[in-house]
A and B are shown apart, each in its own frame.
Chain A
Amino acid sequence: MFSFCEDPSTLDTFQWFSCYLTNGVHLLFYQSFLVVFALLAIAAPLSLAFGFLAATASRARIAPLRWIGKGYTAMVRGIPDIVFFLFFVLVLDQGIEYVRHLVTCPDWDEPIRQGANFLVCDAARTPQGTAPQWVHETYNFGLAVFTYALVFGAFCGNVLFGAMNAVPRAQLETAAAYGMSQRQTFWRVLVPQMWIYALPGLSNIWMILIKATPLLFLLGIEDVVYWARELGGSRNSRFAYPHPDWRFWYFLALLVFYLGFTKVSEVVLGRLTRRLSRGQASAAGAAA
């Protein structure tokens, strides 16, 4: 990065650190924070969409649709979290390969489960064995994002369902009295009003989602935790930047990062709550 970094062993402390913290692997470490933000940026809207669909389905007048919505949100109450996270990614991975196997190699006669092994034909391997490294990484990341969205979508579905029920009945009846159809009532009256009731629950889920991002590490993604462990481990003098075990300091940095992130979110969500309370017939709305 800097011109004086060519021989780190001769530098004084400040210069040594300015070189150490800007070397190649550290830039990768900083990039891995983008992975966290990318996960949040994709998984949050996606899970909100899943939650919206689930909540709408739970209110549907067609029974099977209602069962699907209810069953999906009931996942929130059922399966323990970590087990689900570990397990579901694997199921998804094998499931995709299995379906592709059935489509691409219909005349395959060997069993797929050979004792301990899960074997599909080469054409069904996802991603292809010959694919470049970044395809593998993106695929794994995609699976992880999908799992997050599915789990947190169930949480959101629960919250949004409650929020839709919390909108005063009189509002919907008034809409009907004005001659609005079901669809119009839903989009013009119910949906705009439900957000303020959903916001406390949704901000809670957002906080939990932030704090769930280190679990990416468990799914084999090279995220912040991975790099903190990798870089913090002691380096002997064969390396350009020898240092003892510094993992504690790396994790401290991650801790501070997450604390700052949750604090900023808290402040922003507080403002949003005040903004959305305006004009509502509640204690907070009347005060504003």
Chain B
Amino acid sequence: MTCLEALQSYAFRSIGFGERALPQGDITICEQVVLIGSGMLWNIYLGTLALLFGFFFAVALAVAKASPRLLIRKPAEWFIFLFRGSPLFIQFFMAYEAFVLLPRIGYEFELFGVAIEAETRWFARAWLGALIVLFCNTSAYAGEIFYGALRSVPRGDLEAADAYGLSGWKKFRRITFPTTMRLAWPAYTNEAIFLFQSTALVFFSSFPAFQQRGDALYYASYFAERTFNPFIPYPIVGVYFILLVLLVIAIFGAINRRLNRHLPQDKRPRLRIRPNLIR
């Protein structure tokens, strides 16, 4: 099989398009690169959506944790403690077992004129179940980061806002929030990198791969099993992850520059990238 054929058959195999059967017999490097890359689509999907939704929830959590009201502060504190204090690996297992226990109910609803049949079984699939776990996890970690940044907003800034007659939502929107983001961004970049790397754990999380549509490690372990040679597929996964991390750094770096564009050149905080920690 030539490389072009491999690309045609397997580029979108992980989302159900292309060749049905996975490569067998003589497995070429091209097939491995293409199919593992196709699996990376799932890692990107999980990471991106969890990060996107998690961002908003994390801001809410940080504000709640900084609230003087006990009834708002305590749940946020507990949520953050729960997801930061336990291993992600255990969270995955627990969530899967919990979702499997859900009663099987299906109901239909209409979204943008398309009839959709939603079922609780979806929770036991990786695309929803693992996404929820990753979402909660990144929300908790990012919430703690934002909380720390929220507390270190310079007092002078807030007093100036008061002097200008800003209060409530307007003060938050114009003064507190942008400064929080500016302060939190380098740490949040590291969190984003952790998150993308921990999507690799989904493979071990007992969420089954439906019709052999799996993530990068799923295909890598398939190849390692078939060829009895882990020295090719796993480094391929490694290279893909490094590329992904570089992409994340580029995007977050651009946002960091935009957040700090009003500061003089030498006062702009630089991103200090410290990836590759396990949780």
Contacts and interface: CB of A to CB of B under 8 A. Distances in A.
Interface of A: 76-84, 86-87, 90, 115-118, 155, 158, 208, 210-215, 217-218, 225, 228-229, 232, 245, 247-248, 251-252, 254-255, 258-259, 262-263
Nearest to A90: B230
Given A208-B277, A258-B90, 20 more contacts: A79-B242, A79-B276, A80-B238, A80-B242, A80-B276, A81-B197, A81-B277, A81-B278, A87-B238, A90-B230, A116-B228, A211-B86, A214-B89, A218-B204, A229-B93, A232-B97, A247-B93, A247-B97, A248-B97, A263-B81
B94 A214 contact: no
A208 B279 contact: yes
B241 A258 contact: no
A245 B228 CA distance: 34
B86 A77 contact: no
Interface string B43-77: 00000000000000000000000000000000000
Contacts of A116: 227-229
B49 to A, nearest CB: 20
B86 A259 contact: yes
Contacts of A81: 197, 200, 276-278
Contacts of A212: 87, 278-279
B98 to A, nearest CB: 6
B274 A76 contact: yes
A271 B242 CA distance: 38
Given A83-B200, A116-B229, A248-B98, A211 B242 contact: no
Contacts of B238: 79-80, 83-84, 87
B218 to A, nearest CB: 13
**Interface SS majority for chain A:** helix
A117 B228 CA distance: 7
Contacts of B201: 82
A133 to B, nearest CB: 25
Contact of A251 (B97, B227, B275): B97
16 contacts: A76-B276, A77-B273, A80-B245, A81-B276, A83-B217, A155-B277, A211-B88, A211-B279, A214-B87, A214-B90, A247-B93, A258-B85, A258-B87, A259-B85, A262-B86, A263-B85
Contacts of A155: 277
Contact of B94 (A115, A215, A218, A255): A255
Nearest to B84: A262
A259 B82 contact: yes
Contacts of B227: 116
Given A83-B234, A83-B238, A117-B228, A77 B90 contact: no
B91 interface: yes
A247 B217 CA distance: 25
Contacts of A258: 85-87, 90
B140 to A, nearest CB: 12
B114 interface: no
B237 interface: yes
B105 interface: no
A213 B276 contact: no
B277 A77 contact: no
B115 interface: no
A117 to B, nearest CB: 6
Contacts of B21: none
Given A116-B228, A211-B88, A77 B275 contact: yes
Contacts of B200: 80-83
